Each structure stands twice: as C-alpha cells, then as structure tokens.
C-alpha cells in the first residue's frame, strides 16, 4: 500500500467517518471485491463498522495475535531459545494486561481450537443427504456460527484495547447477553413511498422472482420441468424457503397498498359525482 493511501485511511479513521468516502478508500485497499460489492449495497451502521474494521486491518491496526508476539518469537528463535522459554516469556507479557484482556486471550484460544474440531467433524459426515446426516450438519454448522460470532466479538474487544486503550468491562464478557444487546438495524420498508405505478411494477417483478424460486425448490431449476426433482433437505433449501416466505409477504403488503389506492380513487370518484 502506498503512503498516500495509508495517510488518507488514517485520517478517515480519526475523523467522523463518512460512509461513501470510506467505501471509496476500501475499493483501493481491499482485494476482496465481493466484500466491497456487498458493502456498497446499503449504508447501515453494521456495514460502516465493517468498513472501519477492514480499513484498520489494511494499514496494520488490526491483529488477531497478541501485539509483539511475532517479534518476540523471532528474537527468541535467533537467540536459540526453546519453545517453552518463548512461551514463558509470552506468558509474562500477557500477565501485564488487564484481567479481562487476559481472559479474552485465553478464551479465544479455546474457542478457536474447538471450532477447528467442529470443522473436522463436519468434513467427516458422509455426503449422502440422509435425514440423520442433514440433522448432524445443521447442528454442527449452528455451533460453528456461534463460535465464530463469539470469536469476532472477542477480537473486536481485544483490538479496541490495543488500538484505542479501552479496557473491556466484565459485563462486556458476558458473551451471549452482549451479542443479544448489540443494536439491530431496522430495515426500511421497501414499498413505503412507492406510487401506484411503482407498486404494480414491483408486484410483477416479485411474482416473477417468486415463481423462479419455487421452481428451484421443486425442480432445482428456475424453469418448470416435466419431472419433479425436489431440492434436498439442508441449509440451502431452508434459506430458499425463507426467501420465498419473505417474497410472499411482500406481495401481500403490495396488494394491501394497491387496495388502499383503489379505495381512495373510488372515494374520490364518488365525491366528484356527488358534486356534479
């Protein structure tokens, strides 16, 4: 990364961050184009936080290891020290940190190790989509997601300490409660301010999209086939079924608004006829 871009990122992080300018910097700094494309879709507090994270990481402000541990390892190796001696020295460094940071470092190690074991278990499940295999995959994926959420939460707390010198509180280490209390972004109503013409167009598009999704569920194809070939049970099917449910609700909401438009037009027509 060139020095000018790094300075621009540092300046953006220090000032009140503007979403669009942060995104523009991320386009230059991040190699993950899919991530950038996803973040460009909507300006939300969660996405802004992700941009801050990625930009901090791009200039070296974020590390999932203990600051100084890599340099310490190099020095100990060059001095011919044993692994146990290096470990003892690292333990001494950790003991100088606040109690909550020590707890985070210990817990992330255990969580990361357990998550690796879960990934290995997931790979050991046979590929056949039997009811038993599907249930096992679902259970393990849920445990992996829970571990990942906790790890990300702890990494954020740890890096906040090393970059901003803010010591995590005991309450912040009550993981499930802390995650549940995280502010949720309320999605705006996509049809709230649409005109009647826009609603009609939206309904047509959603109906077309819904038909394709239902076909994928029944035929594993966006178009109808002569013979049914249902999508196997699993995470992909559950995700698609959830999308279908969302689209069906959206069509009902659109129809409710269209009915309201028609009611208003009939009312206005009746009043106009009465005055004539």
- CA gap 132, 175 in Å, rounded: 31
- 175: helix, strand or coil: helix
The b/e string for 45-63 (b: 16+ C-beta within 10 A; e otherwise) is eebbebbbbbbbebbebbb
Residue with tokens 């690292």: 90
- Write down the pLDDT at residue 23: 87
Is 193 a residue whose pLDDT tops 50? yes
Read off the pLDDT of residues 199-256 as tens digits, 9 standing for 90 and up: 999 999 999 999 999 999 899 888 888 898 888 887 778 888 888 999 999 999 999 9
Least trusted range by pLDDT, from 46-50, 83-87, 170-174: 83-87
Domain boundaries, the chain: 3-58, 93-181, 196-275
């Amino acid at each position: 990364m060139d020095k000018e871009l790094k300075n621009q990122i540092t300046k953006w992080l220090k000032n009140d961050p503007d979403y669009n300018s942060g995104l523009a910097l991320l386009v230059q700094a991040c190699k993950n184009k899919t991530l950038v494309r996803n973040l460009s879709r909507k300006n939300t507090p969660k996405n802004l936080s992700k941009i801050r994270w990625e930009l901090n990481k791009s200039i070296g402000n974020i590390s999932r290891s203990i600051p100084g541990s890599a340099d310490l390892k190099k020095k100990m190796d060059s001095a011919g020290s044993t692994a146990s001696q290096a470990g003892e020295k690292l333990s001494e460094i950790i003991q100088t940190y606040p109690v909550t940071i020590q707890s985070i470092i210990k817990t992330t190690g255990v969580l990361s190790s357990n998550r690796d074991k879960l990934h290995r278990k997931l790979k050991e499940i046979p590929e056949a989509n039997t009811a038993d295999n599907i249930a096992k995959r679902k259970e393990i994926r849920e445990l992996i997601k829970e571990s990942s959420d906790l790890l990300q939460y702890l990494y954020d707390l740890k890096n906040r300490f090393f970059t901003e010198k803010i010591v995590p509180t005991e309450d912040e280490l009550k993981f499930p409660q802390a995650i549940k209390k995280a502010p949720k972004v309320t999605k705006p109503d996509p049809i709230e301010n649409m005109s009647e013409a826009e609603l009609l167009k939206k309904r047509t598009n959603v109906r077309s999209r819904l038909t394709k999704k239902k076909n994928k569920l029944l035929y594993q194809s966006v178009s109808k086939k002569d013979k049914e070939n249902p999508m196997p049970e699993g995470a992909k099917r559950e995700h698609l079924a959830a999308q279908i449910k969302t689209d069906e609700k959206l069509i009902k909401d659109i129809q409710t608004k269209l009915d309201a438009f028609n009611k208003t037009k009939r009312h206005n027509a009746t009043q106009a006829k009465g005055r004539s």
